[in-house]
Structure 1
């Protein structure tokens, strides 16, 4: 009967899958190889299928085993988290909080919050993982972290994104660049300079792919808008000074392509500081790199914003200590002097 499946079966299955060897898995689990072999065979008898394809040289997951592995890992993670929560409650809300966040959130917002959190809960521990938006969403979906704070990315099953704040995109350039003394730069002007950018796995990279000239509209839309046809202004994202762009400006703007692409803002700004090109970042992220003597200039016509939010699983509630930490974030973050003009979206 399937009800006979136990944590012992799940632990054994995961260990063999991860190590590809019954002997190595048994050593990790602290049992003998024959005992582990018997456990896996019993598991396979209960479910009525083979979980591994065995040869004399290797052990590999079967098709069914491969499909079941992420489920087994999630079940074990949920069980261990539940035990941690019970232990934390018995000790007066100690325990561990794991948070994945964008670099700008980790460096500009969370440090002050952690000071207050640990003053009130000295027995609690905290782990912070720096990730881009795509990695944060995946980590939350897999149950590897309690929650995330990062940009919106793409819809994932069982994931909810609750907006926390928005900040405007702008150009980041060296202090000696022609844009450095400006109060605003227009999108169509970017094509005149080498550009370095973030990949689509980042929240900012995804915004640029969706909304800027990185994805050109169909030629018929541009032609119609310029030649007196149906003028849907929402398609014309590079209007200089709010006027009607000429055909050359629009088509040149859509030629913008990064000469260097990276997934890390520190690397990105190092490229800018070296004079390789300019880049686009949200204001809060740009302020993190201010020590590099770089300049942030807002982009307009149109104004684009990055939205940062709290990322959680819909089907799983936060542990008591993780909920306390998140509540402090929501309460204190909007009051911080961040040197960036953010639009807060509180309360949830």
Structure 2
């Protein structure tokens, strides 16, 4: 196949405008030139992309497929430009960091802010992933640094203590579980849940923990932050399972009952995950050193 980015931009413009002339205007091409390019693109692909109608054009099945992929191409190009822009502005280093939901929403914002103030020449890309994904990606060399909660058994990585925390049940003060000292995860499953959004690491963990018991989670609502979980629980929407640090971080709003979870996995000591200290880039080593300054600090007592 032979085509270029101009052809793809033209195709997307026509598809969105549903009109060849207006689409051509968007990319500053004459209608005759646009028509020639589209015909050449269809010949190269071997399929018609548009059905011509009296008032414009509509996409064929092939056109719908190409539009989906073309939009993904341009989204990736924009991300590439965003990733490269800091280098043009004098940034000399970059570190890829993967972290689980817990670390991303609790400790990392402050710690990364401190690191970036110290190292203005460095940029960091942060992605939220589950702990097993983080361990495997670090072991394969896909990312230099991870922050995770599991022990990475069977994966050849080095783990450095980062922060101590644990998952707890939160519930409205009038909830039946509010007065107990501790509760099992199975007891929580008898009640509707407020959870972080699907795709978050803690969402995946919770669903897997329920499946291991042969149970399902009654998800009443999904939100985007631990703060929102706490507020929804306080409003009586359901119960939640969050890190203790998320409850004790000076949250405003109605008080919550906080109940210990009986499961051993409720202890969520976070660890920095790397392949080998000796193999880190200077910038990644500086980041690890910054994160390790919080070594073993308990959250919320």
Q: 1:96·1:125 contact (CA, 8 Å) conserved in 2?
A: yes
Instruction: Select the residue among 66, 69, 72 that pairs with 1:71.
Output: 69
The structure-2 alpha-carbon separation of the partners of 1:150 and 1:19, relative to structure 1 and needing over 3 Å to count, comes to farther
Partners in 2 of 1:14 and 1:189 — Cα distance? 52
Task: Report which stretch shifted further, 31-40 or 330-339.
Answer: 330-339
Q: Secondary structure, in 3 states, of the residue corresponding to 1:277?
A: coil
Instruction: Select the residue among 221, 224, 245 that pairs with 1:261.
Output: 221
Partners in 2 of 1:332 and 1:112 — Cα distance? 7
The structure-2 alpha-carbon separation of the partners of 1:113 and 1:255, relative to structure 1 and needing over 3 Å to count, comes to closer
CA offsets, 1:137-175, max 9 Å, x none?
xxxxxxxxx651244699xxx997985222643201245
- Which runs of 5 or more structure 2 residues have no equivalent in the other structure? 150-164, 273-280
**What is the number of equivalent residue pairs in this alignment?**
265
Q: Tell me the TM-score normalised to structure 1 length.
A: 0.56
CA offsets, 1:296-328, max 9 Å, x none?
433123534779999xxxxxxxxxxxx998776
Does residue 121 (structure 1) correspond to residue 120 (structure 2)? The answer is yes
Instruction: Select the residue among 134, 144, 147 that pairs with 1:164.
Output: 147
- C-alpha deviation, 1:295, in angstroms: 4.5
Partners in 1 of 2:67 and 2:107 — Cα distance? 38
Partners in 1 of 2:21 and 2:112 — Cα distance? 46
The structure-2 alpha-carbon separation of the partners of 1:306 and 1:69, relative to structure 1 and needing over 3 Å to count, comes to farther
- Report the RMSD for the aligned CA atoms in angstroms: 4.7
The structure-2 alpha-carbon separation of the partners of 1:327 and 1:147, relative to structure 1 and needing over 3 Å to count, comes to farther
Partners in 1 of 2:15 and 2:282 — Cα distance? 36
Q: 2:170·2:242 contact (CA, 8 Å) conserved in 1?
A: yes
Partners in 1 of 2:166 and 2:224 — Cα distance? 19
Partners in 2 of 1:308 and 1:73 — Cα distance? 37
Q: How does 1:8-87 map to 2 (within 5 A)?
A: 8-79=6-77
Partners in 2 of 1:200 and 1:78 — Cα distance? 23
The structure-2 alpha-carbon separation of the partners of 1:96 and 1:51, relative to structure 1 and needing over 3 Å to count, comes to farther
Instruction: Select the residue among 226, 232, 243 that pairs with 1:271.
Output: 232
Partners in 1 of 2:97 and 2:39 — Cα distance? 38
Q: Secondary structure, in 3 states, of the residue corresponding to 2:11?
A: helix
Q: 2:49·2:59 contact (CA, 8 Å) conserved in 1?
A: yes
Partners in 1 of 2:286 and 2:248 — Cα distance? 23
Find the counterpart in structure 2 of residue 148 from structure 1: 127
Q: 1:197·1:279 contact (CA, 8 Å) conserved in 2?
A: yes
The structure-2 alpha-carbon separation of the partners of 1:307 and 1:36, relative to structure 1 and needing over 3 Å to count, comes to farther
- Which runs of 5 or more structure 1 residues have no equivalent in the other structure? 127-145, 218-253, 311-322, 342-348
Does residue 105 (structure 1) correspond to residue 67 (structure 2)? The answer is no
- C-alpha deviation, 1:81, in angstroms: 5.1
Q: Secondary structure, in 3 states, of the residue corresponding to 1:92?
A: coil
